[in-house]
Amino acid sequence: MHWQDIREQYPEQWLIIEALEAHTEGQQRILDQILVVERCDDGAHALARYQALHRAFAQREFYFVHTAREALDIRERTWLGIRRHHEAYPA
């Protein structure tokens, strides 16, 4: 589906969506094909479900959004530095 189709089918709702096909232009992430994974009661529930899905399926591209947005504005962030596990590097 495309974003406009999703907005029509799910008006004024919080959703968890997955990008099935996407590409990047500059720092803007463009979602070409979107799947609605779940409807949520509110933004807090959507965030919690997004976090759980992201932990369980880190290789998949999930987002939580509200259909009041006319267009998706998803920006990619560049992460700098090295992540490390605190257990491996005690203080």
pLDDT at 77: 81
27: tokens are: 């720092």
pLDDT at 76: 87
Residue boundaries of the structural domains of the chain: 3-75
Query: In the β-sheet with 14-25, what is the strand arrangement from edge to edge?
Result: 62-66, 14-25, 28-40, 74-75
pLDDT in tens, the chain (91 residues): 999 999 999 999 999 999 999 999 999 999 999 999 999 999 999 999 999 999 999 999 999 999 999 999 999 887 766 666 656 555 5
Beta bridge partners of 24: 29
Predicted structure pTM score: 0.81
pLDDT at 44: 97
Q: How far apart are CA 39 and CA 13, in angstroms?
A: 7
